[in-house]
Amino acid sequence: MAENCRTADYADSDISPVAGCDGCELWASTEDRIMAAVSAMENHGWDTRAATEVARRVLGSQTPSLIHQGSEVLAGEMVWTLCCEHNPEAINDIAQALQKGSRCQAGSMAVSWGPNPFDPNHVPSRGWHSRFESPTLHAGALWTAARWGALNKFHPDKPWLTRHPRIVLISQTGEALSDSVPFEFLRDSIITPVSSASGRRHVYLWNTRRCARMADFSDWLIEQGWSWPPNLIPLGSVSRMAGIEQLAHLRRIPATFRGILAQPMLEPLEMDLTGFGWVIVGGETGADARPFDLQWARVMRQQCLTARCPFFANRVGWNLQDDGIPITGIRTRDRHFEAWPEELRVRDLPMVLGSPIRWPVAPRLARV
Ligand code: SF4
């Protein structure tokens, strides 16, 4: 629950009424991690059947978070069971395979900052727990956000947001539309504060990969006699073409407009932008980030121009390519706006968020 949003250039602040999530393809399940461990053990010459048996015995009862946190200890246990030897190379490879399925930023924050039963010296940060797979509800979070001051002024860190209402991103530390979160909670902890007198001063981007459940919630809300707040913008996340269809569910929501967060973008995306009023693109972050190709962003930018849909170049991520050719040497601080080539340095904001601003292009691409 942070007042300043450090992880997205399209928002001022972020807030999480729900911490944790019941998972998606960016947070590999226990079964997927077992298979990854088996594959790593096979690469070291162990028999598939024996490796599978050991992996199931050691990992089967652990959550994905615990497997990530204890990857080295658990890998060591599996190697010892298989060969009664200490084999650091195999342990390292298996541990890396176990961690590879952790591409969700919220999940990664939870395992880094929450309690770690495998590391007695680890001091957890306040407010974090490691049960990422069991979402925790924070009923007062959006009420806190509603009390934050309005902005509508010069924004030194994110000048493209200047003169807009405060843009609050829901939710950075989990998926509020996880199956275990009741609609009554979402109504009382999101819709009510967002619609309150103080909450109406801000605009909220409700980010989800569960577009169908958000639309079901909207239907339920309307059946109950509520309306969808005009300052609450559904923001559907998508990375691959396989996820495009689910975005269509957002059209059922009677929102002012809907947005698309194509980040991490993992392949070119072609989509029908009817009913959508904002597209945000960006690449993946993290040491083993998958490639993000500027060519994909150009294609998306062209689709936005054709559909007259605002386009926002967020962050290029940590594995940038241009037409298949890797771009290296971008300094960390340039992984933001300056890292985009000039024709993609576009940070359009939708009309409803204030006056339409085309953020002027900044300095030339800076490389070391
Ligand atoms: S929080 Fe979002 S990205 Fe992370 S596992 Fe859940 S749905 Fe996936």
CA atoms of 270 and 200, how far apart (whole Å): 34
Please say whether the beta carbons of 311 and 281 come within 8 A: yes
Among 230, 239, 210, which Cα is nearest to 277's? 230
Q: Residue 362 Cα, ligand 1 centroid: separation in angstroms? A: 33
Is pLDDT above 70 for 84?
Answer: yes
Question: Any idea what DSSP says for residue 19?
Answer: E
Among 239, 322, 324, which Cα is nearest to 282's? 239
Ligand 1 contacts CB of residue 209 (under 6 A) = yes
Model pLDDT for residues 228-259, shown as the tens digit of each residue: 999 999 999 999 999 999 999 999 999 999 99
Q: Residue 102 Cα, ligand 1 centroid: separation in angstroms? A: 10
Among 182, 82, 181, 71, which Cα is nearest to 134's? 181
Q: Per this entry, what is the length of the chain?
A: 368
Is pLDDT above 60 for 53?
Answer: yes
Q: Give CA angle at 239 (181, 26), nearest 5°.
A: 55
CA atoms of 368 and 359, how far apart (whole Å): 25
CA atoms of 268 and 35, how far apart (whole Å): 28
3-class state of residue 311 by DSSP: strand
For a ligand 1 pocket test, name from 21, 102, 237 the mutation site with the most ligand atoms within 8 angstroms of its C-beta: 21
Among 289, 213, 268, which Cα is nearest to 281's? 268
**pLDDT attached to residue 351:** 73
Ligand 1 contacts CB of residue 264 (under 6 A) = no
Q: Residue 174 Cα, ligand 1 centroid: separation in angstroms? A: 6
**pLDDT attached to residue 29:** 93
Is pLDDT above 50 for 155?
Answer: yes
Mean pLDDT in residue range 211-221: 98
Mean pLDDT in residue range 22-45: 93
Give the distance between the most distant pair of CA atoms in the chain: 67
Among 52, 294, 312, 345, which Cα is nearest to 167's? 312
Nearby residues of 206 by Cβ (< 8 Å), 6 or more positions away: 170, 171, 176, 190, 214, 232, 233, 234, 235
Residue nearest to atom 8 of ligand 1 (CA): 24
3-class state of residue 83 by DSSP: helix
Model pLDDT for residues 94-132, shown as the tens digit of each residue: 999 999 888 888 888 888 888 898 988 888 887 776 678
Higher pLDDT, 364 or 270: 270
Q: Give CA angle at 62 (58, 65), nearest 5°.
A: 125
Is pLDDT above 50 for 332?
Answer: yes
CA atoms of 213 and 79, how far apart (whole Å): 42
Ligand 1 contacts CB of residue 174 (under 6 A) = yes
CA atoms of 35 and 205, how far apart (whole Å): 36
Ligand 1 contacts CB of residue 18 (under 6 A) = no
Question: What is the β-pairing status of strands 325-326 and 320-322?
Answer: antiparallel
Q: Residue 361 Cα, ligand 1 centroid: separation in angstroms? A: 33
CA atoms of 51 and 13, how far apart (whole Å): 46
Model pLDDT for residues 287-313, shown as the tens digit of each residue: 788 999 999 999 999 999 999 999 999
**pLDDT attached to residue 357:** 46
Ligand 1 contacts CB of residue 104 (under 6 A) = yes
